[in-house]
Amino acid sequence: MPTTFYIKTYGCQMNERDSEALACLLEMHGYVETHEESTADVLIFNTCSVRDQAERKVIGKVGIMKKLKRERPALVIGVIGCMAQRLGEELLKELPHLDFVAGTDQLQNIPAILDECIAKKTRKCAIEMGPGVFRELDGHRPGRLIAEVSVMRGCDQFCTYCVVPYCRGREKSRPISAIVDEVKMLADTGTKEILLLGQNITAYGVSEARAQGIYTPEFSAFADLLEALQEVDGIERIRFTSPHVRFMNARFVEAVASLPKVCKSFHVPVQSGSDRILKLMHRNYTAAEYLDRISAIKAKVPQATFSTDIIVGFCSETQEEFEMTHQVMREVGYDMAYIFRYSQREGTMASKTLPDDIPEEVKHERNQILLAELNSHVAAANAALVGATMPVLVEGPSARGPKRWYGRTDTNKMLLFDHTEDIHIGDIRNFTITRATENALYGK
Ligand code: SF4
């Protein structure tokens, strides 16, 4: 009987992608994936450390598995990802029924770790981070219309509130040729849209260029990558997340504006509209510089849409400073925003040096104000689209029933429509928008 495995993924798209690549790797080593958590021979938890709550969830979940392990002593349980990297041996101590912990740079070693745990019945902690160039796992589930592709790992920004540089390590970028080969392989199996992933994606290639002494403010290996991917036959759309304003130079703006396959919706985290708070966060830009980059894109692509990440109630944020964030929201007119109430993360610079001194009710109130601003903007922006015709990539039946299908516009808006037999998954078709709400467009 083959050994079966089950992977439970927490957190971001990067983790989802790592889980997919790991599943393909384990299958290559003879393991068989199952979707039955309760009967799997190997249980792997791919974890997130961004919020304290995410880590507590995993501890609770793995804790419950103790009973299962008692009933089936041969069961192997592992924790991988950011939390594994951050806590390492501590996790093995806290959870005595846990068999292995593998950090974020250890994905390709997991089959060997598993073999060892199974054969020798040992417990293992592997959290070393490899220096320099790394080999990304490029396995994908075949036939996915939209596929994620990791182009770099880690982050060198060290924003004071963020654990990513400690969990994912320093920035390392894959060569363009390896990414293009992976994307060609995806196109050959039916992928039409790719989502490029990197914690600080506009810094793609920067640390390598710095090491070679060729980095200049005009440098943008990410623009070079987009140009190379534009040429891949079969790929119709390219999206990416997340850029950092510091590296969104003129070369980058020109590339995203002029390359037809690059979708004209951009997720650009702002975090705050106050220069003092941005400095405390160590974001390395001012609100004016942020708005300047958005305006540069809008000038070349008037139909572009924007989304963002915002933290409200960061250490010492005054009402006036919060209003500055509100003002940036009004100026940009975001179509989507992840608005977080600040919470301290152990190990970050902010947790060591800046008191978390904004009362919860104030954070909550600020959060609600920005959500209301977002919703009213989106409702108005969507209503203004009624009557327009837009190309939509058809993704398939929606949760609202088999006859109601959905797709996405280039600007990343969901469009619902009544399915007819001549429309197929993967088609890019023009739809006229007949109705709009703040959540979706309706078209025919
Ligand atoms: S740029 Fe993003 S990933 Fe990097 S430290 Fe800042 S918030 Fe974290």
345 lines ligand 1 (CB under 6 A): no
Q: Which atom of ligand 1 is nearest to the CA of 199?
A: 3
Strand order in the sheet with 76-81: 32-33, 4-9, 42-47, 76-81, 100-102, 124-126
- Indicate whether residue 338 lines ligand 1 (CB < 6 A): no
Cα(225) to centroid(ligand 1), Å: 21
Which residues is 390 bridged to in the sheet?
431
Q: Please report whether residue 63 resides in a domain.
A: yes
- Is position 139 within any domain? no
Residue 441 φ/ψ, nearest 5 degrees: -105, 155
What is the C-alpha to C-alpha distance for residues 267 and 334, in angstroms, rounded to an integer? Answer: 9
Sheet with strand 146-150: strands edge to edge: 146-150, 193-197, 237-241
Does 160 contact ligand 1 (Cβ within 6 A)? no
Q: Please tell me the predicted confidence (pLDDT) of residue 415.
A: 97
Return the structure tokens found at 423.
Answer: 């429309």
| pLDDT, tens digit (0-9, with 9 covering 90-100), for 67-121 | 999 999 999 999 999 999 999 999 999 999 999 999 998 999 999 999 999 988 8
Amino acid at 29: H
Q: Identify whether 439 is part of a domain.
A: yes
Count structural domains, the chain. Answer: 4
What is the value of pTM for the model shown? 0.94
76 within domain boundaries: yes
Tell whether 92 and 13 lie within a shared domain: yes
172, 199, 279: residue to mutate for ligand 1 pocket, most atoms within 8 A of CB:
199
Looking at the CA of residue 168, tell me the nearest atom of ligand 1. 3
Q: How far is the CA of 166 from the centre of ligand 1 (A)?
A: 10
Do residues 376 and 339 both lie within one domain? yes
Give the model confidence (pLDDT) of 119-140 as tens digits. Answer: 888 888 988 887 644 568 889 9
373 and 406 in a single domain? The answer is no
Evaluate: CB of 168 within 6 angstroms of ligand 1: no
226 lines ligand 1 (CB under 6 A): no
Residue 135 lies in a domain: no
From ligand 1's centre to the CA of 114, what distance in Å? 31
Same-domain check for residues 333 and 432: no
Establish if 136 belongs to a structural domain.
no
Asked if 23 and 44 touch (Cβ cutoff 8 Å), the reply is: no
The CATH number for 305's domain is 3.30.750.200
Same domain, 241 and 162: yes
Residue 134 lies in a domain: no
| Same domain assignment for residues 380 and 394 | no
* Residue 425 structural domain: 389-443
Q: What CATH number does residue 400 fall under?
A: 2.40.50
Whether 11 and 121 map to the same domain: the answer is yes
Find out whether the beta carbon of 49 lies less than 6 Å from any atom of ligand 1.
Answer: no
377 and 393, same domain (yes or no): no
Q: What is the 3-state secondary structure (H, E, C) of 20-43?
A: HHHHHHHHHCCCEECCCCCCCCEE
What atom of ligand 1 comes closest to residue 155's alpha carbon? 4
Is residue 398's pLDDT more than 50? yes
Question: pLDDT class for 400, splitting at 50, 70, 90?
Answer: confident
